[in-house]
Amino acid sequence: MEPIPVMQESYTTEATTARTFIMKVYMWMSAGLFITSAISVTPILVLGENAYFNLISEYIYVIYGLMIVELLIVFGLSAAIGKIPAILGYALFLFYATLNGITLSPIFLIYTGGSIFSTFLVCSIMFGGTSILGFITKMDLTKFGGYLTMALIGLVVCMVVNIFLNSSMMDWIISLVGIVIFVGLTAYDTQKIKNMSGSIDSASEDGKKASIMGALTLYLDFINLFLFLLRLLGRRN
C-alpha cells in the first residue's frame, strides 16, 4: 500500500524541523565552546606564564567576582528566557561563554598545556559518544533525571566539605563520581532535546529560545565533564 502523500509530506517536514532544531542546539553549543577555549588560552599565550601568574595573583578577587556573575547569568537566563527576546538570550549565552573563558584560564597555570589538550580530546570523545547514545537509546532516561540532580547536589556538598578536609583520596573519588554524573546528564539532556525537537518550530521565537537553553545545558555538561576529567587526568605544572 502506497503512503498517503499528505501524511508522507507532513512526516518529512517534521523530521526536517527536528533536525534543524538539533543542529541549531549543537551549533550554538560549539560556538560557546570555541569562544571559551579561545579566551581561556589567550592570556597565557600573550602574557606568558610568569606575567599571567602575577596578574592573577593581584586580581584573584576579580576572578571570584566573575564566577558569581556567571552563576547569576545562568540562573537569570533560565528564569527569564520566556520573557526576553531570543536575540538577547543568544547574546547572554555568548557573554557567559566569554566570562567562562576568563575564569577557566588559570587552569593553564595549574596543569600542563599538553594534559589540558589531551583531556579536552578525551572529553570530546566521551561527550560525543554519550550524546549519540542519548539519541539512539530506546531506554527512557527521564526517570534518571531526579537521581542525577540529587547526586549532583550531594557532589557539590562533598566538594565544599573537602575544601576543609583537603583529602586527596576524597578528591579522587569526587572527580570519578563527577565524571559519572555528567556522563549521565549528557545522555539525559540529549534525549530531552531530541524529544523536544519533534514538537517545536526551530524558526519560531520559542524555538530559538529553546535552542539557546538546549545549547547552554549541553555546554555546561561538556565544561563540567572536562573539568572533572582534568582533575583526574591532568598533569600539574
Where does the pLDDT of residue 13 fall: very low under 50, low under 70, confident under 90, or very high at 90 and above? low
Distance separating alpha carbons of residues 215 and 56, to the nearest angstrom: 30
Residues 6+ apart with CB under 8 A from 212: 28, 77, 81, 86, 89, 90, 93
pLDDT digits (tens, 9 = 90+) for 101-160: 999 999 999 999 999 999 999 999 999 999 999 999 989 998 888 899 999 999 999 999
pLDDT digits (tens, 9 = 90+) for 185-205: 999 999 999 998 877 877 889
Distance separating alpha carbons of residues 165 and 231, to the nearest angstrom: 17
Tell me the mean pLDDT in the region 36-42: 96
Q: Is the pLDDT of residue 5 over 60?
A: no
Q: Which pLDDT score, from 0 to 100, does residue 164 have?
A: 92
- On whether the CB atoms of residues 188 and 145 are closer than 8 A, the answer is yes
Q: Scan for cell 498517503, then name that residue.
A: 4
Q: Is the pLDDT of residue 79 over 60?
A: yes
Distance separating alpha carbons of residues 183 and 125, to the nearest angstrom: 11
Classify burial at 72, counting beta carbons within 10 Å of its beta carbon; exposed 0-12, middle 13-18, buried 19 or more. Answer: exposed
Q: For residue 76, give the C-alpha cell.
A: 537569570
Q: Kindly report the three-state secondary structure assignment for every residue of 19-47.
A: HHHHHHHHHHHHHHHHHHHHHHHHHHHHH
- On whether the CB atoms of residues 196 and 207 are closer than 8 A, the answer is no
Query: How large a percentage of the chain has pLDDT more than 90?
Result: 78
Asked which of 8-12, 23-27, 63-67, 207-211 is least confident by mean pLDDT, the reply is: 8-12
Q: Which pLDDT score, from 0 to 100, does residue 173 have?
A: 95
Tell me the mean pLDDT in the region 23-48: 95
Q: Which pLDDT score, from 0 to 100, does residue 19 have?
A: 86
Where does the pLDDT of residue 1 fall: very low under 50, low under 70, confident under 90, or very high at 90 and above? very low
Q: Is the pLDDT of residue 213 over 90?
A: yes
Tell me the mean pLDDT in the region 25-42: 97
- On whether the CB atoms of residues 186 and 218 are closer than 8 A, the answer is yes
Q: Which pLDDT score, from 0 to 100, does residue 197 have?
A: 85
Where does the pLDDT of residue 11 fall: very low under 50, low under 70, confident under 90, or very high at 90 and above? very low
Q: Which pLDDT score, from 0 to 100, does residue 12 have?
A: 53
Number of neighbouring beta carbons within 10 Å of residue 170: 14
For helices 168-197 and 5-47, the axis angle rounded to 10 degrees is 150
Q: Is the pLDDT of residue 65 over 70?
A: yes
Q: For residue 22, give the C-alpha cell.
A: 538539533
